[in-house]
Structure 1
Amino acid sequence: MLLAIPAMIENILQVFIGVVDTYFVGRIGTEAIAGVGITNLTMNVYIAFFSALGIGTTAVVSRYIGAEENEKADHAVKQSIIMALVIGLMFGIINLIFSKKILLLLGAGEGVIEYALPYFLSVAVPSVFLCVNMVLASALRGTGDTKTPMQVAIISNIINAILDYILIFGIFSFSGLGILGAGLATTFSRLISVILLLKKINSKDTKINIFIFGQWKIDFIMLSTITKISIPAAVERLIMRSGQLIYGGMIIKIGTEAYAAHNIAGTIETFSYLPGMGFGVAAATLVGQHLGKKKEDEAQSLGLIAYLLSTGFMVIVGIIFYIFAPVLAGLFTKDENIINQVVQVLRIIALFQPFLCITLVITSALQGAGDTRFPMYSSLIGILGIRVLGVYILCMRLGFGLVGVWIAYAIDITVRGVILMIRYLKGKWKEVRIS
């Protein structure tokens, strides 16, 4: 609970940054909102790689901390930072050179590009700050410190909100920069987060201490270890993104109302993910640390306890979804047809919370052990083999509409949940070794 609750709050705050940005940018105009949205589509692809590197960092650091080999943990964090700098700068250079071509490829018209380009250049080009930020936060979580990333997220939110207002609209004699100001506010808040996290890691009151001004050298063996864990996690996230794009296109073909209802239901569903994500962080940290201590059975028990606690929270959310579905849908639209579709979807979601919890918490537990390949394979089967195919059959062929989309989702979640739990209970992940 002590690990999970700060992680849950941090996830809420990360969502809130996007809400604040959208609120302020929305006052500029519709094209500005579209510009932010299309930039975020690109950033979501990059975040798949950044978060995967974070997973590798947490797995390695937690294992070394559990084994009380803190110097090796320090060394692993340094290698992760080096990799984060390389990946972040590489993406930044690509964004700088091909910025307009990327936006055109995503379908942006000239009117949207006028707004999207300044925001894209100010957010996507310096994406190295986001990458380093995610790695540092993951390293601290690997030590069992989820409070610092939460506290940094609070500060980042406050800075972002204040700068959004000042840089977008201006203050006193400063006239404001419009959407460029929104991008600069986001990037500056990420830079501040990096500085605060580095300060914490470089202090004496943490289990890792990387000495920013100490000796740094590339260790290809350690980089290889982190990469072997991170790459399958990155592929898994790319599979999920690809699947979402494919069946998202099918939903658009059903009709505008169905697509609107799908997005509203998806937005509401996000709140059910928060407990699973929080307890997933706890599971990854505890499993990794106890494997480092050579307490494999205790590691397995802690992962299951994290799952059961998370399930309790998520079932409560599911009950709320089921009972108050019409009220929740009505917060987003007054169109009765859309509301009815959202209500049907929310009640489907409500019934499958325990299986959704498995895909969040048990996946994280396996990844914390360094077993990232199996979740990748399960996502490949579930997202592309079941969900996308299911949406095609149920919606495009049998005409079940939006309900068919979410039935396919429910089947995917159930099958993946069962497969992942069997893998976890069998315990083959205990054999994963960290070099």
Structure 2
Amino acid sequence: MSNGIPLKKISFSGTLLLLAWPAIVENFLQSMVGFVDSLFISKLGLTEVATVGVTNAILQIYFAIFMSVSTAAAVFISRSIGEQDTEKTKVIISHALMLTIGIGFLFGFVSLFFAPDLLSLMGANAEVVERGSTYFRVIATPSIFMSLVFTIGSILRGTGDTKTPLRAGLWMNFIHIILDYILIFGLFFEGFGLTGAAIATVLARIIGVALLFRGMKRKNLLPPLSPRFWSIRPDLLYRMSRLGTPAMLERLFMRTGQILYFGMIIRMGTDIYAAHTLTGNFTLFSTIVGTGLGVATTTLIGQSIGSGKFEDVKRYGKIATGVTSTVMTVVLLIVWLYSFGAATWFTTSSEVIHLITTVLLIDLFAQPATGLVTSLTAILQAGGDTKFPMYVTWFGIWAIRTLGVYLLGVYLGWGLIGAWCAIAFDNYIRAGILYWRYRSFKWLKVI
């Protein structure tokens, strides 16, 4: 396995953690940059904050589609690495890049010509549409760079290389913060305000893509400019789309379900919604860890399947579920212990602080199930079974979580505590269903 991590040189859990930590750090840094970006923009005014909020809501749909391509690329590439088939790996990379570039151009076209319509569709008022159209066009028309960041990062991770995306992310995030400040507020010139924030984001992404391409070239992953590698193979594009589409729908089901139950929580009152939002900021730490471990799980399971080492597949499955659940629970336990003091950084309301710490405790009891959902989804997707997690997410978010938030939070009057009890119940139900599927081994599919 020339490009991956040697599976037998260190323990299975050690390999998983070694592969996961760069992805964890990368996700953490991206979250911090997002926080700094929001802080800068908040200095411009509430209309600018609202514009960015609506734009990000639209971009979440873009991200779901871009991530579906990157998920398919990671699964296909990790298997071909396991098979030690270099030519097949490069053909897959070329098609992942072609698919990514095509989708990037399509969404760029839509963003350029339909920006006001998309903002209006999301419920933005006339002032936000007027100011936000330029911002949205600048940040979303070059969608090709946005999509390439996702795909190239997944290509590298699929080979077992999580450090190159981390290094690229470090530079991209550092440059983003510097450019953000200069272009928003100005230095020796008048700043460009919200448009400056969009330009900074785009320039940082362009630099990130250049660094990721350099990483691919250094690892000899770029396919030569030859028809042998770049002639379109419709069957391969179809198989990648078939694998990636359920992953995309899974994320869209999650987002649309969140919109519904977020609306219920908003109607419970401003303080309650504020407590819910701040609790989400605290749980972000365990989510970042789980995402990084999920990336490592997909890579290692895919490589093991590709090399025909099905005993390793079973071992990695057991270890990934155990490690992910344990680490996410420990991280949230630490966060909960610190939350009693940290919550005072955000609010002086004793009622809101009590709600935050109480809801975090509920989520702490749910973390073992959340870890199982995270790891089992990664395992099934690596096995080529992206449809089952999609169905489970659809059922869990719409039939259990959203209904549960209404019954416990609204109908029975338990408020935010009832809403988070419903979220915990949903995670345990989904974990049970996914574990049943995992134990059946019907998720090992030919892709």
TM range (shorter): over 0.9
Q: Which residue of 1 aligns with 2:165?
A: 149
Write the distance in 2 (CA, Å) between the matches of 1:216 and 1:325.
53
Amino acid at match of 1:183: A
Q: Map of 1:34-433 to 2, 5 A cutoff? A: 34-172=50-188, 174-203=189-218, 205-206=219-220, 208-211=221-224, 216-430=230-444, 432-433=445-446
Moved more, 294-303 or 344-353: 294-303
Amino acid at match of 1:384: W
Q: Secondary structure at the match of 1:429?
A: coil
- List alignment gaps of at least 5 residues for structure 1: none
387 and 92 in structure 1: CA distance in 2 versus 1, 3 angstrom threshold: same
Moved more, 380-389 or 328-337: 328-337
Amino acid at match of 2:266: I
Write the distance in 2 (CA, Å) between the matches of 1:50 and 1:138.
11
Q: For each residue in 1:35-77, what CA deviation from the matched residue of structure 2 results, as whole angstroms up to 9, or x when unmatched?
A: 1111101001110111111110000000001001111111111
- List alignment gaps of at least 5 residues for structure 2: 1-16
Contact 2:285 2:332 (8 Å CA) reproduced: no
Contact 1:285 1:368 (8 Å CA) reproduced: yes
**Displacement of 1:307:** 2.5
Contact 1:84 1:135 (8 Å CA) reproduced: yes
TM-score, normalised with respect to structure 2: 0.93
Moved more, 407-416 or 124-133: 124-133
Amino acid at match of 1:201: M
Spell out structure 1 runs of 4+ moving beyond 4 A: 212-215
Q: For each residue in 1:165-215, what CA deviation from the matched residue of structure 2 results, as whole angstroms up to 9, or x when unmatched?
A: 12112222x222111010011011111111111122123x34x33236876
Q: Secondary structure at the match of 1:138?
A: helix
Write the distance in 1 (CA, Å) between the matches of 2:27 and 2:314.
25
**Displacement of 1:274:** 1.6
Tell me how many residue pairs correspond in the alignment. 430
**Displacement of 1:114:** 4.0
Moved more, 314-323 or 333-342: 314-323
Contact 1:4 1:279 (8 Å CA) reproduced: yes
Contact 2:72 2:243 (8 Å CA) reproduced: yes
TM-score, normalised with respect to structure 1: 0.96
Contact 1:383 1:412 (8 Å CA) reproduced: yes
The two structures, once aligned, show a CA RMSD in angstroms of 1.5
**Displacement of 1:395:** 2.0
Q: Percent identity at matched positions?
A: 39
